[in-house]
Amino acid sequence: MFGNGGLRVVDVIGKPIFPRFFNRDTINELLLDEKFFKKIIELEIKFNNDPSIVGLSGHIQMIGKKIK
């Protein structure tokens, strides 16, 4: 689709990745803890474009650049 639109893929990002491994009630409670929240954000940023785990995410975002 990107190619047909005149774009090339620059990056593929998955989000969220790690919170999906917890049930909803548990993760909602854990995210209220500021230390845990900061750590999970740090991990998300570090690994959100790792090709081996992008597919585990709840949402995949593609970043493209217009081909001239």
pLDDT tens-digit map of 8-58: 999 999 999 988 889 999 999 999 999 999 999 999 999 999 999 998 998
Report the C-alpha gap between 38 and 24 in whole angstroms: 18
- Bridge partners (DSSP) of residue 57 are none
CA angle 40-26-13, nearest 5°? 35
Sequence-separated (6 or more) residues with CB below 8 Å from residue 67: 6, 7, 8
Residue extents of the structural domains in the chain: 7-66
The verdict on pTM exceeding 0.85 is no
